Amino acid sequence: MPPGLSTLKRGSIQVQKAAKVVNDQIGSRQVLAVFVITGFVLCGVVEQSASVALRANSSSSITAEEFAEYVENTSYITRYCQPANKNRSYGHVVRSIPHIEIPMTRTDETESVLREAFMWGTLISPLAASRIAARVGAERLFGAGVLGTACAAVMVPAAWLTPYHVGIRIIQGIFMGATWPAAHMLAVTWFKPKHLSGFVSMYTAVNLGYAIVGLLGTPLVRFCGRDSLSYIICLCSCLWYFLWWRFVEESLNPNRPIRDEHKLLPWRKLLLSGPAWACGVAVVGSQWADATLMLGVTKYLKLVYGFSIEYDDVLASLPHIGHFFAAITFGIVVDHVRQSGLLSTTSARKLFVYISHFLPAALMFVLGYTGCDPAAPAAMYTAALALTGATPAGAFASAADIAPNFAGTVFGLCQTIGAAGLLAANYAVSEGLHGSFAGWWRLVFGVSSAVLLITATFFMTMGSGSVQDWNAPGDYESEAEPIEEPSRLDSVQE
């Protein structure tokens, strides 16, 4: 054997031994959680990388002085909110102004095409990936999904802004769409039912990836060039996959909890299941809200309230960090509530769907009527994005509650429906991105609020946290009863 290969083999064996020591001392579930978080962070970085590279190198960007002049002439706050006197900062001055339409720049159009291509990929793959994961193993599919999503970035420099670039974005979306059902299968395999919500909430690490690439990607592209972002993403993904392979696939997979997985999926019963569709419909509302918050509100704050373009990266990134930590908090809280018996599983899921849908709907509706204080819409934007972090603890986890044996397939169906809703929301919100007349934005926020209310109401009516009969619960060992247990609150009321 050549010396180089011998050294590499010895190094690989040492890494495998280290993986076994880490798994023994820290715990398999903790190791898995760390890798799932970092995997989703990488996916989030890839999803937003095209937008960051476009914006950082955009030659059509206006200067701060030009933007200030534009805001002075067109924005809501400068036309309706004029200084009244020295003692009061603002007074309400009603003026009749025409509707102002801002045409999309070439950068905006390109970004929209690349974003939609990625979304089409996430629409194509989840349902098929869930059945592949049942055959090859969730560990292998999740690792391959993250690796494929990030490694495809190495082809971006050669295909930049060509039809091939659109194709690469679709491929990246397909790989990322495969990670969601695989992660759900990992959840029901490695975690007990009443510890599930905390793990599922880690999926929001995608938002953490948005924040990281937004804050660090722009200076990286400006100083090191556009291609540097793609190469760094590819290198990080290769390192992540090597560690995933050693610490999870090689070390955890042999110790995987044994349970009978049904290979013959009852498609008819699944597609006629009200609780399964309730999960999917709730995900549509969540995705629609995310599209409105991510695409619309930052533009709204700039065009209507005159927030400086210098704060664009901060406005688009920091609230996502809050979203991630809020989601983790919600997941821990709902697990504690279920274990303590204060609420049944169904009641807990519905409560957190209420938090993730009704409250953001109210905030987004009011956001268009906040008046002259620019701090109010900024605070509502941050609060609404944080509250949508309750979605994993509600709708996402419900997909595992109702059919643990088919959790990946149910969640694949939810993500397929959700991706279709996200594409529709992307189109609807994009139509309102370029007007600075407040009434136009109120329509965008009002539609989003209505979608959230309708989807949440559907889940409140049809959603469940109980194992369904088509799951064959007799073959699934669970600490929970197949029939929904009453809550302590219900027994007190009786």
> For residue 16, what pLDDT band results from cuts at 50, 70 and 90?
low
pLDDT over 90 for what percent of the chain? 21
Neighbours of 335 (CB within 10 A): 24
pLDDT of residue 452: 93
Per DSSP, the residues of 441-466 read: HHHHHHHHHHHHHHHHHHHHHH---S
The beta-carbon contacts of 475-481 under 8 Å, at least 24 apart in sequence, are 475/259, 475/260, 475/262, 475/405, 476/259, 476/260, 476/404, 476/405, 477/259, 478/192, 478/193, 478/404, 479/192, 479/193, 479/194, 480/193, 480/194, 480/345
pLDDT of 310 over the 80 cut: no
Q: Give the tens place of pLDDT for each residue, 418-477.
A: 888 888 888 877 766 554 455 567 788 888 899 999 999 999 999 888 888 888 744 444
- The correct answer on CATH 1.20.1250.20 for the domain covering 15-58+106-253 is yes
Please report, for the chain, the start and end positions of each structural domain, with discontinuous segments joined by +. 15-58+106-253, 266-472
pLDDT at residue 93 greater than cutoff 50: no
Q: Is the dihedral of CA 101, 106, 108, 109 positive or negative?
A: positive
Burial 27-53 (b: 16+ CB within 10 A, else e): ebbebbbbbbbbbbbbbbbbbbbbbbb
Q: How confident is the model at residue 39 (pLDDT cuts 50, 70, 90)?
A: very high
pLDDT classification of 482: cutoffs 50, 70, 90: very low
CATH fold of 266-472 reads: Growth Hormone; Chain: A; (1.20.1250)
Residues 143-191 have pLDDT tens digits of: 999 999 999 988 988 888 888 999 999 999 999 999 999 999 888 888 8
Which of 32-41, 129-138, 150-159, 175-184 comes out lowest in average pLDDT?
Answer: 129-138
When pLDDT is cut at 50, 70 and 90, the band that residue 328 belongs to is very high
